[in-house]
Amino acid sequence: MRAIVQRVSRAEVRVEGKVKGKIGKGILVLLGVGDDDNDKDLEYLAAKVANLRIFEDSENKMNLSVLDVKGQALVISQFTLYGDCRKGNRPSYSKAARPKIALDYYEKFMNLLRDKYNLHVESGVFQAHMDVDFVNDGPVTLLLDSKKTF
């Protein structure tokens, strides 16, 4: 599984002009599921996202997690994180999970954040064309991969 995690002061997602998910201070998570991902990848990435120390403490050092600051999460499905651009100009998505599997892991990921980490989670609409609007606080943007390829 792959994720782009951004620290935000606010974020929202709209589908056909209607707000489907909206948060204040917290994290925007763009989540991609790979064709070889399993429950170990799911657990690893959920723990990493929930516990990333990317919020400032009283000394302005990034020592606090989204849990520590009682922030929220907006999670958006993003199969294009598995786009391979190494050959030619058109990305190949052959390593992305098929939609049925990806949806299952997307939902499990959000449920883990909610149930295990007690995080308020909002989401977009799987496979929909979405408009995501956010203010990146910092800016802070991190790339995560459960296979630790980067």
Q: Which residues are catalytic?
A: 78-80
Length of the chain: 150
Q: 114-121: long-range contacts at Cβ-Cβ below 8 A with a sequence spacing of 24 or more?
A: 116/46, 116/50, 117/46, 117/50, 117/67, 118/67, 119/50, 119/66, 119/67, 119/71, 119/72, 119/73, 120/23, 120/26, 120/72, 120/73, 121/72, 121/73, 121/74, 121/75
Q: How far is CA 4 from the centre of its chain?
A: 6
**Separation CA 15–CA 28 (nearest Å):** 17
